[in-house]
Homo-oligomer: A and B are copies of this chain.
């Protein structure tokens, strides 16, 4: 049974603080092992990658070339898809593309009256590496969500790595790669993939180093991404999935018991470590949802995973009023936040921290996982307080532009020199003074 907490109870703060720790991953336990794997790849290249694939994916690549997925494999997988699925993937592709095109930042220049030009130039990275989980838990939707922002950004070289246990590629994933026009992909998983992308793998049929690595993965992948950060950029360090639902008591909302129950379960079924949290002002609604979850859980193919998540990490919190609900939800900063309130536009400005906000009863979280358009790669574990959804911007970077006119340097050079001198940097001062002919 899902835990019911009341904000009015004396031990509430303690129970709530425990919920805030939901996403804590102790990477210390795996860091040593991941470092070993990464170092082996850095120093031994192809040999190390082949050995790691053999060890973790349980097959023996005869050469590095055998790790490469061929165009024919991808094309063939795509042509074998049934047409309803093909259409659904195509529709998802188009909607995701359209949304990410809107968030693409643009170069701008600003002209000052004295002839100075200041601005910001936006450029795609040269080469992006995408990590996509494979095997049984292969998600073609994750491929779309990672490739499309890179395509919109204008990245010329996109390379995909995915684990392929027993050398049996997931046909759906291959099909999605074909749909996205992937030209370079490898059967490499886990920390090995992150190492191969971050450092490159030299030699014939090797892999060129990338500039940015994105994509979901388990704690080994997350740890490897953290370790190579700086060598390359990464999107974020993500943990188990989560949903927070903000519900206000109204007559109408009583009808949403089943919606809310399914939406909570849709996160719980992801992972035993997933969290599903409902915050409502209405205690009878809370109890109805708890009962409904119990009933629906039994019908799920993934009921073992979902039950463990609901029992150990799920919670329904009953508060005194909407203000309090909002305050608690902002502390949680959930990856996914559903809003079931009468006047969502009024509370939208008060929602400070969430990866994605789903508004109203017609917007179940899964619609955002697949087809709405925004990215489904979102900050977890409270990191929505400082991280953003995966976006076109993760595949681009900026350069400042400064062009001073003669008049500009004459106007500002003196003050610049004063500041440089104050900091004891004389060559800085002289580089300006020589333009002002102050020598």
Contacts and interface: CB of A to CB of B under 8 A. Distances in A.
Given A262-B427, A372-B118, A435-B362, A399 B351 contact: yes
B87 A415 contact: yes
B211 A386 contact: yes
B434 A348 contact: no
Given A266-B425, A266-B427, A408-B362, A397 B418 contact: no
A418 B359 contact: no
Interface stretch (A6-14, A47-55, A320-328, A387-395): A387-395
A2 interface: no
Given A125-B386, A211-B386, A363 B402 contact: yes
Interface in A391-439: 391, 397-406, 408-409, 412-413, 415-416, 418-420, 422-432, 434-435
13 contacts: A103-B120, A117-B359, A211-B386, A269-B425, A269-B428, A337-B399, A344-B403, A348-B401, A356-B401, A366-B420, A369-B416, A374-B401, A379-B397
B432 A364 contact: yes
Given A259-B431, A363-B402, A363-B409, A422 B172 contact: yes
A357 B402 contact: yes
Q: State the oligomeric state as a number of copies.
A: 2
Contact of A121 (B92, B357, B415): B357
A84 B368 CA distance: 56
B434 A262 contact: yes
A140 interface: yes
A195 to B, nearest CB: 15
A358 interface: yes
Interface in A279-319: 296, 300-302, 306
B427 A306 contact: yes
A402 B416 contact: no
Nearest to A425: B269
B419 A371 contact: yes
A258 interface: yes
B391 A387 contact: no
A416 B354 contact: no
Nearest to A136: B424
A139 interface: yes
A363 B403 contact: yes
Contacts of A435: 259, 361-362, 364
Given A354-B399, A404-B372, A428-B266, A416 B386 contact: no
B140 A422 contact: yes
Most buried by B among A230, A368, A374, A430: A230
A337 B400 CA distance: 10
Secondary structure dominating the interface of A: mixed
Contact of A359 (B351, B374, B401, B413): B401
Contacts of A397: 353, 379, 384-388
A371 B431 CA distance: 14
A226 interface: yes
A117 B345 CA distance: 12
Given A102-B108, A402-B367, A423-B141, A226 B230 contact: yes
Nearest to A39: B28
A71 interface: no
A368 to B, nearest CB: 5
A275 interface: no
Contacts of A415: 87-88, 91-92, 370-371
B121 A348 contact: yes
A123 interface: yes
A356 B306 CA distance: 50
A141 B424 CA distance: 12
A158 to B, nearest CB: 14
A116 to B, nearest CB: 8
A426 B262 CA distance: 10
A408 to B, nearest CB: 7
A263 interface: yes
Contacts of A387: 233, 397
Given A140-B419, A367-B416, A388-B397, 17 more contacts: A84-B418, A95-B412, A102-B110, A120-B374, A123-B353, A172-B422, A262-B430, A268-B427, A296-B430, A300-B427, A301-B426, A354-B399, A358-B402, A359-B403, A366-B420, A371-B415, A391-B398
